[in-house]
Amino acid sequence: MARPCLAGRSAAIREGEGAEDEPVAMDCKEFQLFVQAYVDGEFEATDAAAMDAHVEVCEGCRAEAEEHARFVQFVKANYEPEPVPEGLRRRIVEVLEAQDAMELAAGRAVATEPSAVPDALASARAGRWRRLEWVIGPALATAAAVLLVLLAVRPFEAPVVSPSAMSTAAMAGSGGGSEVDARTPIVEEAVTWHRRNLPIEVAGPSNAQVGRWFDGKVNFPVRLPEFEERAPGQVQLLGARLSNVRERQAAYVVYEVDGRKMSVMAFDGKDIAMPKPDQGEPIYFENASGYNVAVVEDNGITYSITSELPRKDMAELVQAAFKPR
Amino acid sequence: MTSTTDTTIQDKKAAFREEALVHLDPLFGVALRLTKNERDAEDLVQDTILKAYTHFAKYERGTNCKAWLFKILTNTFINRYRKQSKERLYLVDDREYRPLAERAVAPGINPLETPSEGEQAWYRKLFGDDVKAALEEIPEDFRMVVLLADLYDFSYKETADIMGCPIGTVMSRLYRGRRLLAARLADYALERGIISYDPRVEVVNEDGEVENVIEFKRRRRKRA
């Protein structure tokens, strides 16, 4: 862009030095084009020399250059950037720890011999993270590295599933049942999130700790369902992350039940139509793309629970966790 | 035999701390000006860092990590936050773009007419908020360029790389962005002699078009 032209001018200045017919080597018009870049120190010495020479002799352009510089200085001097909050700094360290743990789990999943991870840190975490392997992906054993990269590419955007893709998936999942996809959007989103194996942002197994992590991050109180009450040890809280349902903030929580993944999304269900349970059923259930999805409203918060568990097992779990209070 | 996976992770973490985590302050500063609120800014920075961490293998150690992080931040902001933002501004052409807000009312007159040296710090704090507010008022494309180039010391080239646009676009946006900013800070800047023309004043040029006084002056000088 500017450089060759300016360099050319530099040469012209040298040649024209002292020439009567060219008192101003670079004309104002040219100077004006580059005054901002000049002031911002974007020119190399040779190019800047031509500009320097011009401001030496042209008062108007000098004034303009000074005005540019003055204004930028003024804005800079009056801008006091806020430092990163300590809480965020801490949280970032936690998130990176969780990410490391996931990668460790992934590493173990591909390792063929158990002796591949005798490292102190790895074994210290093994108990806690052993179960995370499928959070990263069921296909991990075959293509862990590739999958990790794929997962990491766009980990934060809300899942986008085209209606046609969803219908196809529904047909495949339900064995090609109905023509009309009557699924509720909440259920669709629950399944989409469930299927994506996004990294968690806070690790379990403490219900209270995970619940507290959401304080100030979502605009509703996050009360995690008490699955453990009924069957201690059967349900493991693995971790949670922020998500969204219908453009609302949501808490996305991942559990492991009998070796299978179960996810819960909690969000403020105000003004979202709740699907009605079948007659005689206490809880709304829907089979979507092969997953069982329950939708429950409790104390103003809507929960969608998704898993591959048999419906009967899931119904028991959900009913126990959301028993009327 | 020790776990290569774990050693790799430890190395990566150490390098990441050294090269990336040292830039949290500027990342947060820019995030705050872009999202305009602390919560979204925190989320944006956290997302940026996690993305950077998961992609750290792709980053070439020892190159410009700060610019790389800001590129991730900018993309994340555009993809995630701008989509849901109510503030939708479609810029047709930088050169012709004349936002209504540019002609809007001037910022409130500062109560402190002539501060003494001793009052400077307080004054700056007070006025600093005006600079932030003015920045947040100008359209995102211009705001980003002004932030990166003027306040966070990125070169035109780095700014262009971060924003994924040509250097020429950076230059024109920077020019417009500064003008828009000047219009919002005009009272103070004029009074202090920082600028000599009121950027809010419009004149009718020779072709009968309404033109900003600075553009008018520039064109006149170019012709001279």
B139 part of contact set with chain A, CB < 8 Å: no
Q: Does A160 touch chain B (CB under 8 A)?
A: no
Instruction: Say how far apart CA A314 and CA A294 lie, in whole Å.
Output: 8
pLDDT of residue B84: 56
Contact A85 B84 (CB under 8 A): no
Which chain A residues are closer than 8 Å to B32 by Cβ?
82
Chain B neighbors of A61, CB-CB under 8 A: 221
Kindly indicate the confidence band of residue B90, based on its pLDDT and cuts at 50, 70 and 90: very low
Q: What is the ipTM of this complex?
A: 0.76
**Cα–Cα distance measured from residue B158 to residue B154, given in angstroms and rounded to the nearest whole number:** 6
Instruction: Compare A159 and B221 and report the one with higher pLDDT.
Output: B221
Of A1, A67, A84, the CB nearest to B195: A67
Lowest model confidence (mean pLDDT) among A113-122, A227-236, A265-274, B57-66? A113-122
**E-only strand ranges, chain A:** 202-203, 235-245, 248-257, 260-268, 284-288, 291-298, 301-307
Query: What mean pLDDT is reported for chain A?
Result: 70
Write down how long chain A is.
Answer: 325
Q: Is the CB of A30 inside 8 Å of chain B's CB atoms?
A: no
Does the distance separating the beta carbons of B167 and A80 come in below 8 Å? no
Predicted TM-score (pTM) of the model is 0.52
Lowest mean pLDDT among A198-212, A291-305, B7-21, B167-181: A198-212
Does the CB of B125 have a partner CB in chain A at under 8 Å?
yes
Residues whose CB falls within 8 Å of the CB of residue A149, separated by 6 or more in sequence, listed in order = none
For residue B120, the model assigns a pLDDT of: 53
Q: Does position A258 have pLDDT exceeding 50, yes or no? A: yes
B200 secondary structure, DSSP code: T
Pairing of strands A202-203, A235-245: antiparallel
Q: What is the pLDDT of residue B150?
A: 95
CB contact under 8 A, B3 and A116: yes
Give A86-129 pLDDT, tens digit per residue.
Answer: 999 999 998 888 888 877 776 665 543 343 333 433 333 333 33
Whether A268 contacts A300, CB under 8 Å? yes
Cα gap A265→A225, rounded to integer Å? 11
Tally of CA atoms within 13 A in the half-sphere of A143 that contains its CB: 6
**Distance (Å) from the C-alpha of residue B91 to the closest C-alpha of chain A?**
22
Nearest to B143 by CA among A165, B6, B152, A157: B152
Task: Name the phi and psi angles at A180, rounded to 5.
Answer: -90, 130
- Per-residue buried b or exposed e for B176-207, using 16+ beta carbons within 10 Å of the residue's own CB: bbbbbbbbbbbbbbbeeebbeebbbebeeeee
Predicted local distance difference test score (pLDDT) of residue A46: 77
The reported pLDDT for the residue numbered B139 is: 92
- The answer to whether A47 touches A7, Cβ cutoff 8 Å, is yes
Q: Which residue from A minimizes the CA distance to B12? A: A100
- Residue A225 backbone dihedrals phi, psi, to 5 degrees: -60, 145
Q: Residue A126 has which token pair? A: 């093994």
What does chain B come to in residues?
A: 224
Task: Answer left, alpha or beta for residue A289, where phi above 0 means left and psi between -120 and 50 means alpha.
Answer: left
Q: A27 Cβ partners below 8 Å, 6+ apart?
A: none
| Distance of alpha carbon A47 from alpha carbon A31, whole angstroms | 11
pLDDT, tens digit (0-9, with 9 covering 90-100), for A311-323:
888 888 888 888 7
CA–CA distance, B147 with B34 (Å, rounded to integer):
9
Whether the CB of B86 is below 8 Å from some CB of chain A: the reply is no
Structure tokens at B31: 């995030």
What integer best gives the mean pLDDT of chain B?
78
3-state secondary structure B137-150: HCCHHHHHHHHHHH
Q: What is the structure's pLDDT at B86?
A: 46
- At B48, the amino acid letter reads T
Highest mean pLDDT among A39-53, A114-128, A270-284: A39-53
Tens-place pLDDT, residues B1-44:
445 567 777 888 888 988 999 999 999 999 999 999 998 999 99
d(C-alpha A137, C-alpha A197), whole Å: 6
Task: Look at B6 and A40 and tell me if their CB atoms are within 8 Å.
Answer: no
- The residue among A106, A98, A101 whose CA lies nearest residue A149 is A106
